[in-house]
Amino acid sequence: MKSYVSIREAVPQLTNAFKWFDSFIREMYFTSERCLSEIKTPAGGTTIGGAGHALNLRMVVAAAGNPSIFGIEFLCLSVEAFSLQRLVELSFDCTLERDSVRLDFCSAASDGGSCWVIAKEVQVVFLGKEYLGPLLRLGHEAPREDATNAAKIDECWRQCGNCSNAWIEKSEIEFARCPECGMLTRLVENLTRCGVVPLDSPGSIGSQGNP
Ligand SMILES: [Zn+2]
């Protein structure tokens, strides 16, 4: 998993190391784990109810002005409020409160709307060359430490560690939901596939003396 740092540590770099005016928002996903599902009532019937977690925002800014960083991912956890009135000619400002963070992507001087997010916590990761090019998207699933492992089978196939279902997913997408069981999975490069020993592991059949 990529190493996220708290926004509190990243503010000096975010403030000084980028040309925000030439940067732009490339991906933005609001996701909630909340869902509606059937719940059994004490009387033996069913009703529809909701359960789940707070709204999270995963946003990637294509970053300009730094020779080694091409994207900045902001993971805003438990979003309390936001405004998306202006998404170009960005600037950056951050207000740290004791139990919330306000990110501003437009300076007070800019006219015509604003773009800001208030969240309980914000984590940041800087993306290097892997974030160059027109095709790449990090995807909408917010990273979670407790995600189930998915084993990499080849460049496009992966296998769910929960139900053993295999499916096609772009290899750049680290977090994806298994289309069979719905679990959030994290792609793990060197994981033994369910019940299968990798051929290149020490001592496995065929690793030595194979013609
Ligand atoms: Zn599964």
DSSP string, 83-113: EES--SS---EEEE-SS-EEEESS-TT--S-
How many angstroms does the Cα of residue 153 sit away from the middle of ligand 1? 15
Cβ atoms 188, 146 nearer than 8 A: no
Q: What is the mean pLDDT of residues 9-14?
A: 95
Q: What tokens appear for 174 in the block? A: 């680290």
pLDDT of the residue at 12? 95
**Which residue has 């503010």 as its token pair?**
11
Q: What tokens appear for 141 in the block? A: 């699933």
How many angstroms does the Cα of residue 189 sit away from the middle of ligand 1? 17
Distance CA 26, CA 47 (A): 40
Q: What is the mean pLDDT of the chain?
A: 83
Encode pLDDT of 130-143 as tens digits. Answer: 888 887 788 888 88
How many angstroms does the Cα of residue 185 sit away from the middle of ligand 1? 8
How many angstroms does the Cα of residue 29 sit away from the middle of ligand 1? 23
Helix intervals (H) in the chain: 7-16
How many angstroms does the Cα of residue 38 sit away from the middle of ligand 1? 21
* Cα pseudo-dihedral 24, 9, 144, 80, rounded to 10: -70
pLDDT of the residue at 210? 39
Q: In which band, very low, low, confident or very high, does the pLDDT at 69 lie, cut at 50, 70 and 90? A: very high
SS3 51: strand
How many angstroms does the Cα of residue 4 sit away from the middle of ligand 1? 26
Four-residue CA torsion sign, 197, 203, 205, 207: positive
How many angstroms does the Cα of residue 186 sit away from the middle of ligand 1? 11
SS3 139: coil
How many angstroms does the Cα of residue 32 sit away from the middle of ligand 1? 19
Q: In which band, very low, low, confident or very high, does the pLDDT at 2 lie, cut at 50, 70 and 90? A: low
How many angstroms does the Cα of residue 157 sit away from the middle of ligand 1? 13
Regarding beta strands 184-188 and 148-152, do their DSSP bridges make them parallel or antiparallel, or are they unpaired?
A: parallel
How many angstroms does the Cα of residue 183 sit away from the middle of ligand 1? 6
How many angstroms does the Cα of residue 148 sit away from the middle of ligand 1? 9
Long-range contacts of 118-121 (CB under 8 A, 24+ apart): 118/79, 118/80, 118/81, 118/82, 119/57, 119/76, 119/77, 119/78, 119/79, 119/80, 120/54, 120/77, 120/78, 120/80, 121/6, 121/7, 121/76, 121/77, 121/78
What is the reported pTM? 0.76
How many angstroms does the Cα of residue 167 sit away from the middle of ligand 1? 9
pLDDT of the residue at 201? 38
pLDDT of the residue at 78? 92
Q: What is the mean pLDDT of residues 149-167?
A: 94
How many angstroms does the Cα of residue 177 sit away from the middle of ligand 1? 8
Q: Where are the domains of the chain?
A: 5-138, 144-200
> For residue 8, what is the DSSP state?
H
